[in-house]
Each structure stands twice: as structure tokens, then as C-alpha cells.
Structure 1
Amino acid sequence: MSPRRPQVCVLGSAEPGSPAFELAAAAGTLLARLGITVVSGCGSPATRVAAESALAAGGEVVSIIPSDDIKTENWPCTVLIPCGMGDARNLLMALAGDACIVIGGRAGTISEVCLAWLHRRPLLPLTGCGGWSDQLEQNPPDERKNSPILPWSSVEMLQARLKELGLV
């Protein structure tokens, strides 16, 4: 039996056409090419494009959705987990990855990031594109230093961070 593949959650939000959106797509492709399973809720354009890009590159995508509908159609994933928990799904998202990529973000993303921090998941915030993820390294959830915060601003830097964490 082969070992479990590394899993990385993609959290956050960014609008189509923005640099953060384009980097979310590139991150999905990179994760797939590295053999890392993408975990996404696909609730924002950025997390959805990361999942779609990972699938297009031949990768595996697990999507954890807030509803309880297993028959949800047009969802980019190889595995669909309808949790029926609404926003409480954020804990599942925080726990489902060996690390969490953070792109931009709004209140839901902040919730996921704080939960990931509490459970010692490394955080990989996109920087240089605006949004909440730009602030994460200088303004972590609290003073405890629970997990590393490893910023990235290019796909090459993201790959180096994944190597640093031993996921590649």
C-alpha cells in the first residue's frame, strides 16, 4: 500500500483578472504537478480556479462544501465531501491539509486561518497582491508562534516553501 499523498488546503478569495486570481490558478497547477492533493471549498473564484487548474493538470482535488447535497453538480473535484455544517466547515478545511495556502481573504478566510493556526498547520500566505494574506506574516493570529508562516509571491517561491515543509 502506498503512503498518503501530501494535501494542501487553498483558502481565500480573489476576483477574476486580479494578480492573486492568476496566482491561485498557477498554485493549483503546481500542486497537481508536484503530486499534492488540493483541498478546496471552491467557495470563492480564487479557490475554485485553483481546483479547476489542479484538475486540468491531472491532479486530485478534494472539495469540502458547506451544504449536505452529494448531488451538487459542476463542482471541480475528484472527491466531494458535503459536510452539511455551513460555516462550521471551516474547521474541516483548516484540518484537512498538511499546510494551508492563503490567498487574499475575507472573514471566512480569517476564520479558517485562525483554526489552522490553533491546530499547528503551516500557513503559506500570498503576498504582494493585496488582501488580508499580505498582512499575515507581520500580524499572525496571536503571539504563540504555533506554526510557520511562509509567505510567497511567485510560483517558484511557493514551490520552495513546499520543499521547505517537506511536502515535495
Structure 2
Amino acid sequence: MRVSIIGGGTITDAETAVAVAVGRELGERGHTVVCGGLGGTMEAVCRGAKAAGGETIGILPLEDREAANEYVDTAIATGMGHARNALVPLNGDAVIALSGGPGTLSEIGFALVYGRPVVGIDTHDVPDLDLEIELVETPKAAVDALERAVDGSDCDHERES
């Protein structure tokens, strides 16, 4: 499955660790990462996915594919600026939202408009709306929740330590 990862372009060391772990979890399970292709959350999740042998797609706000972070396999230049926020969740089967600002919130909105399941770790919550964002605490729980939502199955991916 393709999983769109959304989050901040500038993140803390702790947020970087979570994003790398999310990417690694997705890569280990054979899922493709879709993201905005630049730095912060996008670079960290791509780094984690690549370390686990995963595939990455970056949908860039810029006109230059070379602007993508070094861990993006397929860079898609849009020249659309923030308007490309509509394309990131559209190109995933599901969305994991990490911490971020208004750009992340806009991508959550688009994901919900497109009917994509959204799972969040330390992200925006929209409790006043009749929309569901499943909030979880770990990368494993996030991917488990998305697999259940998309496949309708209860995936058990326990790994040996």
C-alpha cells in the first residue's frame, strides 16, 4: 500500500526519531512512502523507509525535482507551492500525520475530504468535527491501524528483538 506521511518541515530531534521509526516500519512491511519530499518529517521518514529497503515518493512544492531530499526514489515536481498539499494525501491509500503546523493540518483536511484513513502520532486533533483521526502513540501502532483500516484485517507484525 502507499502511505502518505505528513508532518512539519522543521522538527525536533524527538520528532525526527519518530518519523524515522515510522518510515522504517513502513519499509519493513513493504509499503511505499508518499510525502512532500523535502526536509524535516519528509526527510526523516524517507531515511527510515530507505534503511528498511522501502520505496519513497516525494511530491515537491517546487519546480525542480533535484530539490528532493536524498532519500526520495521518485521526485515529482509540481511548482504548486502549498497547493501541492492536496496531492500528498490523494496519492496515498492512507495517511499518517505526525506533528506539524498549518500545512500538516491542511493535509489532514484533504485526507479526510478524500476519504483516506488518518492515523496520528502527536498531531492535530479535530474533535469538534464529525471526522475520525485515530490517535496512537507508536509507529507500530500507526501502521497496524492503517493496515486494519485499508485491508480490513487485523495484521500482527510482531518482530523478534
- Is residue 17 of structure 1 aligned with residue 13 of structure 2? yes
Report the equivalent of 2:120: 125
TM-score for both structures, normalised by structure 2: 0.84
1:35 alignment partner AA: G
Counterpart contact for 1:114–1:141, Cα < 8 Å: no
Report the equivalent of 1:152: 136
1:142 alignment partner AA: L
2:13 alignment partner AA: G
Counterpart contact for 2:24–2:48, Cα < 8 Å: yes
CA distance in 2, matches of 1:160, 1:74: 27
1:164 alignment partner, one of 148, 156, 159: 148
Structure 1: gaps (5+ residues)? 1-5, 128-132
Change (3 A) 1:70 1:141: farther
In percent, how many aligned pairs have the same letter? 30
Change (3 A) 1:71 1:91: same
How much does 1:140 deviate? 4.4
2:28 alignment partner, one of 16, 26, 33: 33
**Deviations for 1:56-115, whole angstroms, at most 9, x for unmatched residues?**
211100001011113336532111100111111001012011111111110111111111
Say what the alpha-carbon RMSD is for the aligned residues.
Answer: 2.0
CA distance in 1, matches of 2:81, 2:142: 30
Counterpart contact for 2:25–2:139, Cα < 8 Å: yes
Report the equivalent of 1:130: none
Q: What does 1:57-136 correspond to in 2, within 5 Å? A: 57-72=52-67, 74-127=69-122, 133=123, 135-136=124-125
SS at match of 1:55: helix
CA distance in 2, matches of 1:112, 1:78: 22
Change (3 A) 1:33 1:90: same
2:129 alignment partner, one of 136, 142, 157: 142
CA distance in 1, matches of 2:98, 2:53: 22
Change (3 A) 1:118 1:51: same
TM-score for both structures, normalised by structure 1: 0.81
